[in-house]
Structure 1
Amino acid sequence: MFEFFDTAITSDQFLLALYDTLLMVSISLGFGSLLGIPLGIILVTCRPGGILPNPVVHQVINPIVNILRSLPFIILLITILPLTRWLVGTTIGTPGAIVPLVVFIAPYIARLVESSLLEVDDGILESANAMGASVLQTIWHFMLPEAASSLILALTTATIGLLGATAMAGTVGGGGIGDLAITYGYQRFDAFATLSTAIVLIIIVQLLQTLGTRFARRIRRE
């Protein structure tokens, strides 16, 4: 164990905060994708002119996604504190941050998936229809593969946005690097703590964007 120069943060604290951040991102992204990807598919298929038009379903889901997307994360986090406490038994720490992070990222992913799928050429859908493909077959074998590269970039963008949200969760004791920056950097006027956490977040974002871009490019070439 060692101290970061004149800062009160130890290496163990920093590594634990980094672990908590990555844990929050991975779990929230997993559950958010399980909710957001189907929602995005439903928004595309049930929209007017979609392969399975359903105005009722579309008019119910669309405004809900809009409402959740319009709320800044910090306000959303505070608003659903009772739900968070009911689901995980606490509103602080890593467990308390995961619920609002999922609620935040799911509609975000839904919009990104919707945008990616809408880019699929109409000719692809017409070919699927001509081959007698069902709705599920059209989605699974035609729409998703055709939009795979765009979907990867969309999920990369969602992951980066989620990383930023985990930092904001630190303002209410959400744990992770954001909490470290608030507790030591802001409240204790530790400039080095603030700078080091910012640098770590920048590095993670650059790695995520690079990996996502390369993976999307490889999928596009295949």
Structure 2
Amino acid sequence: MRILVVEDDRILGEAISQRIGRMGHGLDLAQTGAEANQMLALQEYDLMLLDLNLPDMTGNQILQNLRKKHSSTPVIVLTARDEIKDRIELLDLGADDYMTKPVDFGELEARCRALLRRSQGQAQNTIEYGNVCLDLQACTVTVKDNTIALKQREFRLLEVFISHTGRVLSKEALIEHIYNFNENPNASVIEIYVARLRKSLQGSDIHIRTIRGLGYLLEKHHA
């Protein structure tokens, strides 16, 4: 999944980015409101972590503009404010969750997982499709209750496929979900990951079909 961190404190922003990055998600860091708005105009994100106190504008303005564009991107606000009226204002502006600083990284990871689950229509930390089950917290995959070994990017790629069943996903769309702005992978890297996933999923009842000229489609084997 692709996550945007908006935080003007470079040390904190990089610490959050490293922590979330270890979860295997594509991640971008903006330190000003202008940078954040530019990234939001170019890229659709699966989640945004938003600081309120930015040097050029408030996080409230970014959130308000985002919702005016009818974007459903989940937003966790990071704030030093702890007044009830502040929380009400943030939720009314369209925030999905908030955390007061200093943040606990373990709790932040859990809240990220919860919002990503909710945005995908999942109530649990697991996603199932056919006889394949992804545990989003443990980052493990099982096929018929047998654990299969996947590297982190392969796991996230499978998560993207299962979260978008019924949709053909282009190589460019897949790259956008799992890589950062400062990474420039060749589209052929997706072919490599897809080939590895196909091999790993040989014992399952799902497969990744190539739609020539368009991309890939995850589907179940026909009985």
User: Given the two structures, how large is their TM-score scaled by the length of structure 1?
Assistant: 0.25
User: Given the two structures, how large is their TM-score scaled by the length of structure 2?
Assistant: 0.25
| Greater helix share, structure number | 1
| Greater strand share, structure number | 2
Larger RCO of the pair (alpha carbons < 8 Å, separation 6+): 1
